[in-house]
Amino acid sequence: MAQKILQDMNIKKPKAVLSPAKVVDVPRETEIRNVPRSNSRYTLWIIALISVVFLFFGISSIFANAKVTINPKSKDFILNQNLSATKDANSGMSYHLVGPLTGEESKQVAAGEEKNYSVAATGNVLIYNAFSSSSQILAKNSKLEGSNGKIYQTTEEITIPGAAKDGTPGKISIGISATIPGEEFNSAPLDFKIVGFKGTKKYSKFYGRSVGEIAGGLIGKSRQVSEADKVQVITELTSALKNKLYKNAKDQTPAEFILFPDADYLTVDDQIIGTVGENGSATISIKGTYYGFVFNRQELSKKITDTVLDDTEKNDSVYIPNLPDAKITLTDKTQALFTDAMEISFNLSGSVKVVWKVDADKVLADILGKNKSDFNDILRGYTNIESANLSIKPVWKSSFPDKSNNIKVIVNYQQ
């Protein structure tokens, strides 16, 4: 009926109104639903791998380092050279005296079986020269008169050093023995005069004083240490004492000086043969005074290299690392030489190695930040380098680090 009314009123029925179209978001996965998922995953892995590689190379560059080991130029020589040196000189070849150092050694020695003995007393005497600055030879078996009125004799020929400039008498130690065997020549320390100088001006200016007791004189039955054993033990003790005092002297020698094992002298000031005790043994003891010559290592090296090297090779950068191994022979090895001589002559012999020093700091400065390919060209500028080994890490680095603390330069002087 309503419709009828509307028709009658000529009112048209409204048309249907359409709503605006809605934009629908298509899910991303719907957009790429036709792209294979495996390709996407590979792409991500490739990107990650490239990132890791770049990171690895970057960190490796930060921790890059280099090591250069240099073998310096060297030459071997057979040395046989006569040299001279002046005591405490300020220029040229000089030597310095170590000592006197004193020490003692002793050893228990078994005595032989009891038997008849006829033994002369023995001892040691220091002979002094207050007569002049000239040395004086005293022959073997020279007679000495003790302050006890008995006559003794020297056991070897000696040269008594002359008096020093300040008037200090020259002195030397000498062994003595009684002229006849027997206990009556045993004595506490004595003063001595040289019988052969009696009636001359020398008589009062040459004198002796025994060091320790004069002992061992005997006629009768007794157990004694044999003469052969005495000689052997005293030789052993002398060698042991010399080695001990040499070590003490070497420990006191500065690093820039050399004390050769044979550039020394030991005076046995006293040797005591003890009496045989209830245990059937006696103590043999010695006391001694040690002197040694020390030489400046640089002065001695230069003196030798000036002789053995060509003019083109001579410079201040050479040295002889094994110089202390050379054998030294003193021309006149006596106590007088060690106490009074102002100039000495000696021979050095043996195999020596001359080595050229290398300035490691300069090498470091020259290679800092340089390409690895330039290394050999840089080394050619060093005439004192024989060869060198190079190691750069990481291995793909084509240049040296540009920071000095990342480069280590080692000079192999012990080659």
Per-residue model confidence as pLDDT tens digits over 387-401: 888 888 887 788 888
pLDDT of residue 50: 67
CA distance 387 to 376: 10
Residue 288 phi, psi dihedral angles, 5° rounding = -145, 165
pLDDT of residue 237: 94
Q: Residues 211, 126: contact at Cβ < 8 Å?
A: yes
Which of the 8 DSSP states describes residue 406? G
Query: DSSP alpha helices (H): ranges in 63-177?
Result: none
pLDDT of residue 19: 46
Tokens, residue 293: 């010559």
Q: Residues 106, 194: contact at Cβ < 8 Å?
A: no
pLDDT of residue 261: 87
pLDDT of residue 29: 45
Is pTM beyond 0.85? Reply is no
Residue 321 CB coordination number (10 Å): 15
CA distance 63 to 60: 5
20 prior amide bond cis, ω within 30? no
Residues of the chain falling short of pLDDT 70: 1-42, 44-63, 316, 335-336, 415
